[in-house]
Amino acid sequence: MIWNPAAERMPRTARETLQWERLRVTLAWATERVPFYAERLRGGALRGLADLAALPFTRKSDLREHYPFGLLAVPPGELARLHASSGTKGKPTVVGYTAGDLDVWREVMARVLVAAGARAGDTLQNAFGYGLFTGGLGFHDGAERVGLSVVPASSGNTARQILLLQDLRPAGLCATPSFALHIAETLAAQGGDPRALGLRYGLYGAEPWTEGLRGALERAFGAPAYDIYGLSEIVGPGVAGECEAREGLHVADDHFLPEIVDPATGAVRPVGEQGELVLTTLTKRALPLIRYRTGDITTLRDAPCACGRTSARIARLKGRADDMLIVKGVNLYPSEVESTLLAVDELLPHYQLVVDRTGTLARLEVQVEPAPAVIERCGGFDASHPTLLDLGRRVRERLASAIGLTAQVTLLPPRSLPRSEGKAVRVIEKRAADAVDLKPGGAP
């Protein structure tokens, strides 16, 4: 089923005309009302969508420098809602919505919910954090628009999540993939069966995750797992989401215009090439953003999708450009390590990367937990047991061939790695001055 067939199945040429009309309105709106854009977009009359590439980028630092209201195109009194990013470093990024912007958000969220199989009358357990983070309220409002009954569980409190799942029997669960996995694992450890919850679909996002993690979640809950993408600066969740074909995420490109650029030079990359996603809002009034550098690495696809939606699609997000690690000259995304680890049945999908930069050469340690069956075979956890030594060696070799880097693999006792209730912290960087960096920052 398609939520808004007129918009989602719009022929490409009509869509481009609409995008161009909306872009012109947005540019005029931003230049007239936001001094920052009046200054930057001066004199740049565009003749068509293709000219967009000539305009300067907007970056997260611009939002920070104009904190809190400097990039708003409406007076704060006209805002219907404010949200903010977690702001792990310094001040948060504040985003504002007019009542009309909230309507756009509900619309795009309704599309991704319906694309994942949600239907009016379903119950949805919403385990995204409610509050300044856009996950909770974004899913909540979109779900109400579709006619779902929402259980506003919010993030955290795994025991209560399990109780609600068992007793209210929702059709769907939405959460970060790492938290959903933690819920399933906790239930299984109590002797319960997550498959018996009867979930029909799971909607996951807000952090990078891989096909391997999708497989783990689908096996755990016995329900298909859909990838939902978004960021607060643009609107929150709902910028893009998967349909039943699950061959990329459909971008709501009648509201948010995507481009892919070279993260280093900013040059536009052709369809099919990987790079940084840049988004221009086409309908937002409170906080129009022109060519916003999301920092997220993906690929744009424009081939038609079997589902009939005509929008551009993006590939599963690989991670953030600033989460890319450089270890011994090798560029590496945590998601690449995840893909390798999750292909090994004898491991649990819980891992952490420790990058030690205190010496002259950075060292990568991959910490991961063996599956319970393996530990049972060893008669309990013993890191020096030949089975575990052999497993560690095999994982090291697999990683070396997949990422081109020899990492130290440390197998840890059951449940010793921290479990996530929001965005998982996958990387710990140890630096010389003893400062420890956690990435990505843990919004709920």
The amino acid sitting at 273 is E
**Residue nearer to ligand DLL on the CB measure, 205 or 349:** 205
The b/e string for 126-141 (b: 16+ C-beta within 10 A; e otherwise) is bbbbbebbbbbbbbbb
Q: In the complex, which residue's CB is closest to ligand DLL?
A: 205
**Residue nearer to ligand DLL on the CB measure, 20 or 179:** 179
Q: Least distance from C-beta 259 to ligand DLL, angstroms?
A: 15
Instruction: State the DSSP string of 392-439.
Output: HHHHHHHHHHHHS---EEEE--TT-SPPPSSS---EEEE-TTS-EEEE
CA dist 430 and 428 (Å) reads: 7
**Residue nearer to ligand DLL on the CB measure, 15 or 111:** 111
**Residue nearer to ligand DLL on the CB measure, 331 or 358:** 331
Question: 58: which DSSP letter?
Answer: B
Q: Least distance from C-beta 208 to ligand DLL, angstroms?
A: 4
**Residue nearer to ligand DLL on the CB measure, 128 or 256:** 128
- Binding residues for ligand DLL, rule: CB under 6 A, are 85, 128, 133-135, 205-208, 227-232, 236-237, 294-296, 317, 320, 443
CA–chain centroid gap for 54, Å, is 28
CA dist 213 and 215 (Å) reads: 5
Instruction: Report the DSSP beta bridge partners of residue 258.
Output: 279
Q: Least distance from C-beta 317 to ligand DLL, angstroms?
A: 4
CB of 158 closer than 8 Å to CB of 183: yes
Q: For residue 84, give both structure tokens.
A: 């903010």
Q: Least distance from C-beta 231 to ligand DLL, angstroms?
A: 4
CA dist 239 and 167 (Å) reads: 32
Query: Which 3 state secondary structure label does DSSP give 370?
Result: strand
Q: Least distance from C-beta 98 to ligand DLL, angstroms?
A: 19
**Residue nearer to ligand DLL on the CB measure, 194 or 238:** 238
CA dist 179 and 153 (Å) reads: 13
CB of 56 closer than 8 Å to CB of 89: no
Q: Least distance from C-beta 236 to ligand DLL, angstroms?
A: 5
Q: Least distance from C-beta 235 to ligand DLL, angstroms?
A: 9
**Residue nearer to ligand DLL on the CB measure, 3 or 128:** 128
233 — alpha (psi -120 to 50), left (phi > 0) or beta? alpha
